[in-house]
Amino acid sequence: MKLDEFKSLLGRHPDLNLRFVLPDGTRVPAHAHVTEVARIEKRFVDCGGTLRNDAFCRLQVWVAEDFHHRLNAGKLLGILTKAAALLQNDTLDVDVEYEAGWISQFPVSAVEATDTELIFNLGARHTACLAEDQCKRPPQGLAAFNPQAIQFKPLSKIS
């Protein structure tokens, strides 16, 4: 989801509390709040040798023992407005950083409004080859090979 669409949704529902739902359907606790808004810039070389740039808006979500510190849509919109110079434009993709066992980043895939909450459904991020035209793809049978799925049988004792 682009930042302009994200801000528009916040503006249309300023009194709603924020709720984040992980890709597996797990709901982040209701008292979680956005502790950081950042412009993340990534400059890298892909496996084909091409220099690339990417930038996005990252919202860090944190859960603490502070059950009364709720951040509603209007307040988050105010923070994003203050961060406008830092973010530089509203065409950035928005993702959410959350510690779900380990720190992970999730793109915002959909938003729905209820009577009390603005629910942000988070998607999964995947790796990919950006230079497929220059890379050799594995033979078709090997592409689906998953070494973690191998089940080993215990060795029998030699008598």
Whether residue 144 is contained in a domain is answered as no
Size of the chain, expressed as the number of residues it contains: 159
46 within domain boundaries: yes
pLDDT at 154 over 70: no
What is the pTM (predicted TM-score) of this model?
0.79
pLDDT at 83: 97
Pairing of the two strands 51-62 and 33-45: antiparallel
Q: How many domains does the chain have?
A: 1
Q: How far apart are CA 125 and CA 102, in angstroms?
A: 14
Q: Which domain holds residue 95?
A: 3-126
Beta pairing, strands 103-113 & 117-122? antiparallel
pLDDT tens profile 5-60: 999 999 999 999 999 999 999 999 989 989 999 999 999 998 888 999 999 999 99
- Please check whether residue 79 lies inside any domain of the structure: yes
Q: Is the pLDDT of residue 150 over 70?
A: no
Half-sphere exposure for 142 (CA within 13 Å, toward CB): 4
